[in-house]
């Protein structure tokens, strides 16, 4: 009996200690925040209840010309007070065409989910606000008033993505007035509005800046992220997270590098053997319903899904079925060794220029891709890293070149490569029911000094720059009136700086491209340094690329974010300063992405987030 009493006493002591610990952590923080002079950083001080300090979240919403907004808008005036409200008290009025209104309803659902996720205990389906009984908070409402003049619900390079957002509080109602020329502008306004809101840790409700006037538009029409899903399969759920984060940073193009020589994970209804031979497994396939889901998922978030089918190289696995089906070799050098002699990385493979049936298959691939991704306004043909040694050591191709009198020197192969490219573009146009869309090509041996305008029509092709940003070729292409997209690897390849996956040491494009390098990479400045005069409209924008030799679902979020956020501000705002003034807001944007379920990488200790500006050099 004495032993039982002793154990019971110990148990009670433990309960009391746990209760005391919980009570300690539920106490209000001894710290508070105020905005520094001239709208400077939020300053942390001991809260004596004399100086009227606020929470960190409230201070970040109201301090400085741009508060917690990312990317920073063209023009913003923010109020210095907040009002509390609950998400169930949101209502709206829409003046827009029916299809636009339908999309806005979906975007509004995303907006409501985003702001609910600011609650530290967010879980889908839970009523997070049931314990809030404060009559002042319960009486407050947020009214959203939309006016969208345009009917366009498909993104193009000409889409007007601008918007104005006015927030005004009168009595118990806060009204957010959104005016835009397109659904996409209105969606961006909703994203901005969600960043004027945060969780109030004192009342448990949400809070919104009481007044704001914002006028905003993007610097570039093309603002993208490339995700390679061939080298390692990336799940639809991970792609959804990527699109969620892109929307939070006003990026508008998801460049889906869906196939490569490593695998062909796209299921084609008319060519099922492509995935049968080319997918890593039966569970690592994108079916038509998956692709169409991703296309719609992106559209309601303001994002086009742009497919890439890279050719004539970076093909291989998936094409092996041709001979046994009477079609001959559709591709050559497939998995050929030693790979260093025939391709840029293992495994090798290039399309067979000598086989006319290859074009039949290519046209069928385009037909289904156009259907899955419809409507398309851009298509990426790839076109990088052709290895002539693959073609000129394949008897079938050298015999074909000789029989047709084409010759066997390098220029002869470049000519036939350009013929292939033109046929490919014609097949794409036919697949798109005769409607020609701009075709994007990686810079390559077809576009080196003096060649691009010999082989390509500047009206039909957009050139995608992936070499270093100081390459003089960029100036030449602009002088020849080619439109360009930047993904110069020395700043915007997100796979750089890791260990080599073939051999030892660092990978080929090291060092690591930090968020600071991503932020400071200005396409217009690069272009200005390389040509005396050019039409700025030829610079369409840029994208960051994640090639996935060393990435899959487990790390895709942290490889892209928050570096992708730095890209977002560069391409939306194109600021005239370097990364340093943006650091505090980026650290907060990273926190916001995590609240929304994005496993973004840490870039500073949390102490830096709570002590603004004190982690700067």
**Which residues lie below 8 Å from residue 17, measured CB to CB, with a gap of 6+?**
none
Element (H, E) at 332: strand 331-332
Residues in the chain: 617
From residue 449, give the alpha-carbon distance in Å to each of 163, 387, 427, 444. Answer: 41, 18, 28, 10
**Which residues lie below 8 Å from residue 126, measured CB to CB, with a gap of 6+?**
none
Active-site residue identified among 314, 381, 425, 588: 314
- Tokens coding 106: 């979906």
Asked about 260 being catalytic, the answer comes back as yes
Active-site residue identified among 260, 310, 345, 543: 260
**Which residues lie below 8 Å from residue 236, measured CB to CB, with a gap of 6+?**
286, 290, 293, 294
**Which residues lie below 8 Å from residue 466, measured CB to CB, with a gap of 6+?**
384, 442, 443, 487, 488, 489, 493, 545
- Tokens coding 426: 């014609």
- For the chain, how are helix, strand and coil distributed in percent, rounded to 5? 40, 20, 45
Which residue in the block uniquely carries the two structure tokens 């390459």?
Answer: 471
**Would you call 46 helix, strand, or coil by DSSP?**
strand
- Tokens coding 273: 């053997």
- Calpha distance 343→423 (Å, rounded): 23
Asked about 314 being catalytic, the answer comes back as yes
From residue 520, give the alpha-carbon distance in Å to each of 387, 469, 498, 575. Answer: 33, 12, 21, 9
Active-site residue identified among 81, 152, 385, 479: 385
Burial of residue 438 (CB within 10 Å: 0-12, 13-18, 19+) is middle
- Residues with catalytic annotation? 260, 314, 385
């Amino acid at each position: 009996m004495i032993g039982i009493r002793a154990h019971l006493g110990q148990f009670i002591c433990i309960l009391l200690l746990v209760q005391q610990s919980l009570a300690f952590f539920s106490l209000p923080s001894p710290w508070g925040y105020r905005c520094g002079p001239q709208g400077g950083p939020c300053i942390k001080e001991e809260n004596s209840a004399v100086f009227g300090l606020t929470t960190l979240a409230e201070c970040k919403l109201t301090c400085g010309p741009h508060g917690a907004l990312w990317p920073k808008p063209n023009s913003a005036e923010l109020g210095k007070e907040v009002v509390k409200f609950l998400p169930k008290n949101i209502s709206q009025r829409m003046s827009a065409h029916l299809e636009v209104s339908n999309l806005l309803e979906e975007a509004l659902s995303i907006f409501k989910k985003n702001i609910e996720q600011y609650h530290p205990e967010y879980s889908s389906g839970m009523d997070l606000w049931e314990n809030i009984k404060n009559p002042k908070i319960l009486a407050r409402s947020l009214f959203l008033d939309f006016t969208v003049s345009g009917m366009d619900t498909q993104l193009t390079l000409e889409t007007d993505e601008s918007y104005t957002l006015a927030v005004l509080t009168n009595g118990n109602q806060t009204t957010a007035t959104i005016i835009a020329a397109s659904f996409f502008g209105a969606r961006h306004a909703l994203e901005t509005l969600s960043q004027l809101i945060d969780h109030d840790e004192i009342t448990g409700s949400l809070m919104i800046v009481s007044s704001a006037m914002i006028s905003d538009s993007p610097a570039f029409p093309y603002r993208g992220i490339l995700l390679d899903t061939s080298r390692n399969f990336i799940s639809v759920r991970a792609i959804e997270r990527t699109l969620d984060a892109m929307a939070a940073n006003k990026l508008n193009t998801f460049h889906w590098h869906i196939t490569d020589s490593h695998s062909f994970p796209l299921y084609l209804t008319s060519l099922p053997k492509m995935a049968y031979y080319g997918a890593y497994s039966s569970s690592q396939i994108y079916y038509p319903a998956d692709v169409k889901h991703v296309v719609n998922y992106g559209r309601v978030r303001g994002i086009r899904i742009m497919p890439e089918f890279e050719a004539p190289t970076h093909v291989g696995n998936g094409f092996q079925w041709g001979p046994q089906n009477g079609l001959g070799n559709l591709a050559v050098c497939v998995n050929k060794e030693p790979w260093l002699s025939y391709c840029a990385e293992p495994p090798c493979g290039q399309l067979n220029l000598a086989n006319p049936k290859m074009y039949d298959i290519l046209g069928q691939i385009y037909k289904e891709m156009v259907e899955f991704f419809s409507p398309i306004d851009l298509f990426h043909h790839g076109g990088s890293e052709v290895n002539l040694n693959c073609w000129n050591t394949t008897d079938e191709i050298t015999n074909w070149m000789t029989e047709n009198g084409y010759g066997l020197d390098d220029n002869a192969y470049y000519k036939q490569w350009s013929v292939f490219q033109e046929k490919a573009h014609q097949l794409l146009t036919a697949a798109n029911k005769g409607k020609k869309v701009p075709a994007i090509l990686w810079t390559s041996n077809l576009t080196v000094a003096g060649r691009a305008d010999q082989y390509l029509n500047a009206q039909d092709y957009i050139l995608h720059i992936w070499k270093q940003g100081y390459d003089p070729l960029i100036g030449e292409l602009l002088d020849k009136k080619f439109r360009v997209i930047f993904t110069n690897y020395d700043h915007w390849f997100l796979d750089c700086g890791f260990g080599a996956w073939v051999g030892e040491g660092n990978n080929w494009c090291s060092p690591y491209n930090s968020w600071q390098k991503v932020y400071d990479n200005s396409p217009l400045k690069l272009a200005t340094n390389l040509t005396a005069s050019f039409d700025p409209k030829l610079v369409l924008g840029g994208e960051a690329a994640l090639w996935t030799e060393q990435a899959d679902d487990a790390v895709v979020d942290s490889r892209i974010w928050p570096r992708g956020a730095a890209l977002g501000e560069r391409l939306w705002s194109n600021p005239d300063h370097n990364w340093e003034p943006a650091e505090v807001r980026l650290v907060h944007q990273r926190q916001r992405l995590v609240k929304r379920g994005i496993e973004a990488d840490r870039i500073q200790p949390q102490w830096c987030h709570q002590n603004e500006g004190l982690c700067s050099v």
